[in-house]
Amino acid sequence: MSACLTFPNKWKSFLLILVASVLLCLLSANWTSQSIFSYKWQCGELPFRFPDSIPPLVHWTSKDGRVPAKLVPIVRSWRRLLDVRLNDSSSADRNSSNADEFPADRWHFMHWDDKQISELISKHYPYLVQSYRKLVNGLERSDIGRLVVLHHVGGLYIDTDVELLRDPTPLLRPSQLQEAGLTPNFDCESAVWSQEPVEHPTFIFNMNKSLISNAVMMSRANHSFLSFVLKTWPSWFERNWEKARRRSVNDAIKVTGPLMLQKFYDNYTVLKQSDRPKDWCGSMLSEQDTFQPLSDLYYGAARLKEVCSNAAKLNLLQRQYCKRLADAKFKQKQIPKSSYTVHRFLHMSYRRYFLRLTAMSEILPILKCNV
């Protein structure tokens, strides 16, 4: 009898918990939606709000708008830009009748998932569609997607494991770009590209030169280098990779990532004078320490000490680098005060199985526009 009398009470407790859970989800969903700000403009119209600078727009990409919880503190580091005001916003922005709808005097955050990028490519980059659909994993699609976003809208693209250290606003203006001392021969007025930490090309790829990176990139919309890559990549991909369909995630660096980008950068920077567009740049690369002062942990001080101990297997450049490390007693490198960001190389964006995920809109206010 007592069991029969207490049974309804158990159901009441269950129902109370269920109702509370639903209410919590609704409240959470409502808060999240308030963190997404939509404007009536087309995405391609946003660059015109900033005619005299690289747009103060920070872009991330992910599969579905969520990131592993471990990345949340890193993404949250960019919130400090909410307190930055751009003192030199253009008169066009200040006098626009829509200025009160779109604050053009501060940074904005944008996020692009796979569905949005596919829509952007289908609508504005039809020449990419066939090759893009042949990409075999999320990392390859992200590599091409970030280039498309930067070309279409402009701004600053960063990987989700790139942490902000100091305000990058001075890098938005052409006159300040050339004075920033990014590299000794930096000569670009419209774009800044990061480089992989020196350990990566030297020890991972046995290269005798630096390697461009796609983890941190700044550019105006429709930049000629991005146009050069996006228009040339499909035919190159079809010739070299279309039939290699059993590619692993590790192949992305060659198919769509830094090694591919370096190849096209080398070809772009040696264009004949007659073939150079107006915004052509002979050198748009920053120093490694500007955005990526630390290497992947796998090639940290302890690992390199082990690698350098076997000098017989090293090439000349590697031995020279090992000597510098030995002179410094293989101490862990410290992040210079001049660095704007640091790349943590957590490798989690598309390896998310069994990970707790958090919506980007729960971390930052996300700006949306019409593709």
The per-residue pLDDT for range 329-361, each reduced to its tens digit, is 998 889 999 999 999 999 876 565 667 899 999
Do 312 and 211 form a contact (C-beta atoms < 8 A)?
no
Question: Residue 351: its pLDDT value, please?
Answer: 61
Strands 212-219 and 366-370: unpaired
pLDDT band, very low/low/confident/very high, at 25 (cuts 50, 70, 90):
very low
In the predicted structure, residue 179 carries a pLDDT above the cut 80: no
Q: Which two tokens mark 190?
A: 């419209």
Q: What string of DSSP letters covers 174-185? A: HHHHHHS-SSTT
CA atoms within 13 Å, Cβ hemisphere of 326: 11
pLDDT band, very low/low/confident/very high, at 93 (cuts 50, 70, 90):
very low
CA-closest candidate to residue 371, choices 53, 68, 120: 120
Task: Say which range, 60-74, 172-186, 279-293, has the weakest mean pLDDT.
Answer: 172-186
**Between 162 and 5, the higher pLDDT residue:** 162
Cα–Cα distance list, 144 to 92, 133, 148, 250, 258 (Å) = 32, 11, 6, 15, 11
Q: What are the pLDDT digits (tens) for 207-246?
A: 999 999 999 999 999 999 999 999 999 999 999 998 888 8
In the predicted structure, residue 19 carries a pLDDT above the cut 70: no
Strand partners, 343: 162
What values do phi and psi take at 335, rounded to 5?
Answer: -75, 125
Residue % of the chain over a pLDDT of 70: 82
Coil, helix or strand at residue 85: strand
Q: Which domains does the chain have, with CATH numbers?
A: 42-83+104-295+341-367 (3.90.550), 298-332 (no CATH)
**Between 76 and 39, the higher pLDDT residue:** 76
pTM of the prediction? 0.86
Q: Would you report the helix, strand and coil content of the chain in percent, each value rounded to 5?
A: 50, 15, 35
- What is the greatest pairwise CA distance in the chain? 95
Please provide the average confidence, as pLDDT, over all residues in the chain.
86
* Contacts for 193 with CB less than 8 Å, ≥ 6 apart: 212, 213, 216, 217, 218, 265, 284, 285, 286
- pLDDT (mean) for 113-132: 97
The DSSP code for 285 is B
Question: Residue 193: its pLDDT value, please?
Answer: 95
CA atoms within 13 Å, Cβ hemisphere of 300: 10
